[in-house]
Structure formats: structure tokens, C-alpha cells
Amino acid sequence: MHSLMLKEIYQQKEALQRLKQFYFIDNEPVLPSKMRYDFNEIKFIASGSSYNAGLIGNYLFSKYTNKRSSFDYSSEFIKNCANNIKKDTLYCFISQSGETYDTKLALELVKSKGAMTLSVTNNPNSFIYINSDIKIDSLAGTERAIAATKSFLTSVVCVWMIAVSFAIKEGKISLEEEKDFLDEAIKASIETMKSEKEIKLLIDEIYDEKGLILIGEGFPYIISREFALKIKETSYINANAYPTGEFIHGHTALLNRDKKVIALLDETISETELYAFKKMKDNFSPDIIAISPVKTDFKNTLKLNNYKSQIAKITALTVICQLLSYHIALKSGNDIDNPEGLYKIVK
């Protein structure tokens, strides 16, 4: 195994096991003692892959809890929200390095206004971790490849853990409902790695050096954003992600040039997704490649196992997209672990 990126994708099972050992007692998430639950809103603030983890956090809080939830890019938050920082909001800063420049500035801004801060980082010696009121170490372990993989997934599991804890406090879900769900996510990370053989067979159908169109609805859309970012970082291919229903509102003009679409699916395909697929087929006849836990009518489908819990579904889709990103980069012939012009602040 020559690539650090591939090695670190394989290390995700151990990283999730560390999270379980450190943060769970009898399958119940145990957050830091300073965690408070009396906020009206939680706002996720981050950049890059961490921003996509924040989007997952927003999705999970909306799904599980009664709390208002929102998200913002760190740089946009600094520019637009300086005069609108509220004491009844919990500000969650996600940074794999804990040293992300604009996220550090956003944290300092919130602290100067006296609001409560929470951090999720992979570096307990970092500025963001040290200066946050509530701190969560994502425990991914040392990550040396430029493209974040295991640190992204452990950040996602941490925001899931936070959402579940809030939901249990509110009585929206019982512990029994979430019992063993992290074990299922660990299982998903292991089982999905076995798809690498199928990925290698399909990579010629997926690879397109001109550009890639990725679509999804719900959490698959968020994972498609992370997938697109990984492709850009490692292959320099212009990959772009769109919500499936939104894609047909003008964006389908791209199909006059690019006939390849990668569709990320959940086990239930919605009415808006079906309508979008029909419109694409009728007007452009693109080559749609599906990544799905269920059988589809598309010519090429990369099949995922189906899981009960949201976090296991998210884990499986994340891992498959990381593997695809790696093999696209391998085919492109680039230095996968050290893309040009990019560097890692904390390795």
C-alpha cells in the first residue's frame, strides 16, 4: 500500500473504534462535562472538508433535535455576522488541524462577544482546541496525506454524537434507538472497503479529465460535495456537486458538453429525484452512474450495503467516495499525497 491517502482510508475502522472507546459508556455518548444543552441554536462554522462535516451536523440536528441549526463558512461568518453573535447560540468550530486561519479568526470573534464556543478538532494542542470553552478531540490519529479522509469521517461521527446527545436530553430519541449504531458504522467502514475491486472495474466509466458532475439529495448531496472536493484536491479535475432536484434548474445545460453524471443515492429515491432523472434522460440522455444501497435501472451501479442507522449509511457512502477519489487520482497520474500548491498545517 504505497499511498498515505489509501492507508489512512483503511485506518478509519481503528479511528472509529477509538471514538467508541473514549466517548461511549454502555453505548451512550458521554460528552465533555462542560457541555451545555440550554441553547436555542447551534451554528457550525468551518472551512473545506470541515465545512462539509458541519453540513452533516446541521442535517443531523435538524433530523434528531428541536434545536435550530445553521452553518456558515468561517470567512463568510467573519464578514457577515460580527454584529449578530448571540449568547443563546452555541458556536461549533470544526477544524481538523485546529489551526485553520479563518476558523481561528471566527473563534476569536465569537469569544470577544462572550458567546459559548465548542470545537471539534484532530489536534488537542491547537489554538482552536485550547481556546474553546468545550472541546472534542476527534481522535483520527496522525494524518499525513494532504486530502483529509479519516479526520473528516471522525469529525462527522463527533457531530453525530453531539446531535444524538442533544436528542436524548430532549427525549426525541431513546438510547435504545441509537444502541450499537456506532458499531454498525464501524462495520460499514470495514465492509465498504471490500468494494475496492468493483471500483477498479468501474473507474474507466467514471473517470473524465474534463470534469465530473455529482448529484445527491439529503446527506448524499453533502457527501457528494466532499467527494467533489477530494477529486479537485488530488486530481485537479473540475468536479462539482449539486442537489439532484436543483440540478435540473439550468445546471443541466452542462450535459450538452459533459454526458457523465455520478448520482449518490439513499435507499429511498424521492419523487423529486425521479422527476430529475426523467428530465435528464428525456432531454440529454446522459450516462448516469449510481452509487446506491438499492438496485437501480441505470447502466452502471456501484452497490453499497444497506444499513439501519444514519451514521452507518453516511460512513458507507463516505468511504466509497474516498476510495473513488483515490482511484481517480491514481488514474490521473498525480502525486496523490502531495498535490501541487496544497499543504497540511498539522500532520
pTM: 0.95
Instruction: Write out the residue range of the structural domain in which residue 273 sits.
Output: 192-332
Residue position matching grid coordinates 498525480? 334
146/211 same-domain check: no
- pLDDT tens string 234-273: 999 999 999 999 999 999 999 998 888 999 999 999 999 9
Which of 224, 232, 312 lies closest to 264 in space, CA to CA?
Answer: 224
In the predicted structure, residue 173 carries a pLDDT above the cut 80? no
**Domain closes at, from 150, 179, 208:** 179
- pLDDT tens string 110-157: 999 999 999 999 999 999 999 999 999 999 999 999 999 999 999 999
pLDDT value for 41: 96
Let me know: does 59 contact 221? Beta carbons within 8 Å. Answer: no
128/216 same-domain check: no
Helix (H) or strand (E) holding 264: strand 260-264
pLDDT value for 208: 84
165/244 same-domain check: no
200/140 same-domain check: no
- The mean of the pLDDT values for the chain is 93
Q: How does residue 178 score in pLDDT terms, banded at 50, 70 and 90? A: low
**Domain closes at, from 179, 209, 226:** 179
148/273 same-domain check: no
pLDDT value for 81: 86
- pLDDT tens string 202-219: 898 888 888 999 999 999
Pairing of strands 41-46, 89-95: parallel
**Domain closes at, from 156, 179, 202:** 179
β-bridge partners, 240: 213
Q: How does residue 26 score in pLDDT terms, banded at 50, 70 and 90? A: confident
Q: How does residue 184 score in pLDDT terms, banded at 50, 70 and 90? A: very high
Percent of the chain whose predicted confidence (pLDDT) is above 70: 98
Q: Domain of 12: which CATH number?
A: 3.40.50.10490
- pLDDT tens string 27-52: 778 888 899 899 999 999 999 999 99
241/130 same-domain check: no
In the predicted structure, residue 301 carries a pLDDT above the cut 80? yes
Specify if 184 maps to a domain. Answer: no
pLDDT value for 347: 58
Which of 149, 12, 310, 346 lies closest to 20 in space, CA to CA?
Answer: 12
pLDDT value for 179: 66
Q: How many domains does the chain have?
A: 2
Which of 72, 82, 67, 30 lies closest to 51 in space, CA to CA?
Answer: 72
20/89 same-domain check: yes
